[in-house]
Amino acid sequence: MLKCRVMQKFVASFTILSMFFLHGCLRVNTDPQPVFAEVQQDVLTRTGHTACWDTCPDEAAFKSCIESTLEQELTEDLVVYIALLNNRQLQATYENLGIAKAQLVQAGLLRNPIFALSYRFSTKSTVTDLIDIGLFQNFLEALLIPLKKRMAASELEATQAMVTTQILDVIAQTKIAFCDFQALEQIWTLKKQVLLAAESSYDAARRLFEAGNIKDLELTANRTFYEQTKVELASLEVVVLKSRERLNVLMGLWGNQINWKASICLPIALENESDWGDIESCAIANSLDLAIARKQIYATAAGFGIDTTRIVFPQLEIGPSSERDEGVWFVGPAITLGIPLFDFGQAVSAAAQAEILRQWNRFTALAVDIRSAARIARIHVLNTHRQSQYFQKILVPLAEQLTSLTLLQHNAMQLGVFHLLSAKLQELEKKIQAVEHLRDYWTARTELEMILNGHIMQKNTFEISMKK
C-alpha cells in the first residue's frame, strides 16, 4: 500500500512538471514581425522609404504589383521602391530577424528535465528487485537564464541594426546605380551626336580631298577620328547595358520584367548646397555601425559570464529521487554538483578581458573612421557641387556660344566647315563632362546622406564606371 502511494506521488509530480514545461513551450512567441516593424519604422524615419518583407503566400498578387509598377516610366523613387520590395538578397537578410528572435526566446527557456530509471533484478527469488527512479532539472541553466537573455537581447538588437544597414545599403546602391544609368544614357546620346559630327567631318574631308583641296594627312586624321568614335560608341553601349543589368539585379528583375523604361535625364544640381558643418557629430550620433559594435561588446561580455559560470560549476542538477530496497520505497531530494578543484575560470576571464578590450579598440577605431569618412564625404559633395555648377553655368554656355559664333562666321564664308565641326565637337565634349560631374555630385550626395543616416555604405564590388 505504501509503495502504491509513493509511486502515485512520484508520477503525479512528474506529470505536473511535464505539463508545466509543455505549457511554457506552447506560450512562447517567436514571431519576428514586431521586430521588423521597428526596423521598418527606423528606415522610414531615416530615409523616407518603406521596407517590405515579402511573407505573403499570394505570389500572383505580388508579381502583379511589381509588373504594374514597371509599366510606368521609372524614377529614382520607383526604382528604390521595387528594390526594397523585390531584392531577394535583402529578403533573405530579413530572416536573420527570425533567427535572432528565436534565439532570444530559446535563451529564456529551461532545458527539459531528465528522467532516470534503473531496474536491477535479483538472481535469487527471495531477494526483492531494486528500482531507482529520479527526475533531474539542470538548475544551473535556470540561474544562467538572465545572462543568456541579456546576451540574446544584445544580439537581437545588433541584428536589427545590421538589417537596417543592409536596407540602407540597398537604397544607396540603387540610387547610385540609377544615377549612373541615367548619366550613361545621356552620355551615349551625346556620343551619337559626336559620331554624326565625326562622320560629317570625314565626308567633308573626303570631298575636299577628291577635289584636291587637302592632302592625305588631313583626310587620314579625319577618318581616324571617325573610326575611333565608332569604337568608343560601341564600347559605351556595352557599359550602358551593364549599368542596366546592375539595376535589374538590385531590383530583383528577370524575364519580361527587364523591359522597363526610365527617365534618362539627371536632375540638375541644387542651386545652394548646405555647408554640412556639423557632419561629424551627426554621423557619430546616428551611426548604426557603432550601435552594432556596441551591442556586440555587450553580447560578448554576457557570453563570457555564461562560459565562466559553466566552467566553475560545470554541473548543478536538482530533483526528486526514489529507490526501493527490500520492498521499502525511499523518497527524497537529490543534487548533483560539480566541484571546482582545478579550473576556477581564470583563463576564460583573461580571454574575456582581452576580447572585450579588442572589441572596444575596434569600436574606437570605427568611430575615427566614421569621422574621417564624414569629412571626406562633405568635401566631396561641396567640390563636385561647385564643379557641376561651373560646367552648368559657365563652361557649357560658353561652348554653346562658341558654336553659335563659329556658325555665324561659317555662314559669312569666313571660317570653313572644319572649324564649325570642331566647335560643335568641343561643345558636345563639354556637355559630356557636365553630365559626368553631375553624376559624381549626386553619387557623392547619396554617400553623404547614407553616412548621416547612420551607415558607411559598402563599396559595390562590381561597380560600373565608364572607361574614358
In tens digits, the chain (468 residues) has pLDDT values of: 444 444 444 444 445 445 444 444 446 778 888 899 999 999 999 999 999 887 765 666 667 788 888 888 999 999 999 999 889 899 899 999 999 888 888 888 777 777 777 776 666 656 566 667 777 666 666 767 787 788 888 888 889 999 999 999 999 999 999 999 999 999 999 999 999 989 988 898 888 888 888 888 988 988 999 999 999 999 999 999 999 999 999 999 988 888 999 888 888 888 888 888 889 999 999 999 998 888 888 888 777 766 555 555 555 566 666 666 666 666 767 666 566 666 566 676 777 778 888 888 999 999 999 999 999 999 999 999 999 999 999 999 999 999 899 888 877 777 877 888 888 999 999 999 999 999 999 999 999 999 999 898 764 433 333 333
Closest CA to 53 of 81, 79, 82, 85: 85
Q: Which amino acid is at 46?
A: R
The predicted pLDDT at position 31 comes to 84
- Distance between CA atoms of residues 262 and 259, nearest Å: 10
Let me know: does 371 contact 283? Beta carbons within 8 Å: yes
Homologous superfamily of the 2-452 domain (CATH)? Outer membrane efflux proteins (OEP) (1.20.1600.10)
Nearest-angstrom CA–CA distance, 157 and 121: 56
DSSP tag of 4: H
Measured CA to CA in angstroms, residue 67 lies from 58, 250, 314 at distances of 15, 16, 59
Please compute Rg for the chain using Cα positions.
36
- Residue 138: which of 360, 342, 338, 424 has the closest Cα? 338
Helices 346-390 & 288-312 angle (0-180, nearest 10): 170
- Does the pTM surpass 0.85? The reply is no
Q: What's residue 439's pLDDT? A: 95
Burial string for 360-369 (b: 16+ CB within 10 Å, else e) reads: eeebeebbee
